[in-house]
Copies of this chain bind each other. A is one copy, B any other.
Amino acid sequence: MRIDALDAALIRLLTDTPQLPVLECARRLGVARGTVTSRLARLHENGVIEGIVPRIDPRGFGYALTAFCQVEIDQKVGHDEVAEALASAIPEVVDMYTVTGASDMQLRLVAHSAEQLQEVLDRIALVPGVARTASSIAMRTHLSGRMLPLVEHAARG
């Protein structure tokens, strides 16, 4: 769908001020309540807003470390099969993609510490179909799921 400046402003407002009442959104944006309601409905219908969900920070309960892991898959095993096995066996996997290039899958992991990360990587290596892994540790998180500039860029373009 096409997005305009009002949609972008609404998304920014709800991102900056979570759970802001619809009525208050309408006041701050200088539009009627029904407008905000219908815009939100449209954004939901078109899948722009997947849902209003609690944003969980794993650091809040001890998972201070983020790491990336490139996985090579045994060619004889299906990707989906391995993906399914990894997803169910390793709760520390928060992102998982099948990618082009040297490796077959790209994971993002969290762990308590470097030592516990090693233990997680060991568990990954044991999953049937996983041939090889290469990993790197995130020293610093500059951006994580930053969407607002993109939304505003799309609203302009």
Listed in ascending order, the chain A residues whose CB lies under 8 Å from chain B are 1-3, 11, 14-15, 18-19, 43, 46-63, 66, 68, 79, 83, 87, 91-103, 106, 110, 134-147, 149-154
Cβ–Cβ contact A98 & B139, under 8 A: yes
Q: Which chain B residues border A103 with CB–CB below 8 Å?
A: 136
Copies of this subunit: 2
The distance in angstroms between the C-alpha atoms of A63 and B155, with both chains bound, is: 13
Q: Given A143-B94, A150-B63, A150-B92, A56–B11 Cβ distance below 8 Å?
A: yes
Q: Given A91-B152, A106-B136, A143-B95, A50–B61 Cβ distance below 8 Å?
A: no
Q: How near does chain B come to A61, taking the closest CB pair, in angstroms? A: 5
Cβ–Cβ contact A95 & B144, under 8 A: yes
Given contacts A53-B53, A103-B136, 7 further A-B contacts (CB under 8 A): A3-B61, A51-B55, A87-B143, A91-B152, A94-B145, A95-B143, A95-B145
State the majority secondary structure of interface residues on A.
mixed
The distance in angstroms between the C-alpha atoms of A60 and B146, with both chains bound, is: 15
Q: Which chain B residues border A19 with CB–CB below 8 Å?
A: 19, 51-52
Cβ–Cβ contact A93 & B61, under 8 A: no
The distance in angstroms between the C-alpha atoms of A96 and B46, with both chains bound, is: 27
The distance in angstroms between the C-alpha atoms of A101 and B139, with both chains bound, is: 11
Instruction: Name the one of B47, B51, B56 contacting A151, with C-beta atoms under 8 angstroms.
Output: B56
The distance in angstroms between the C-alpha atoms of A88 and B98, with both chains bound, is: 28
The distance in angstroms between the C-alpha atoms of A141 and B96, with both chains bound, is: 6
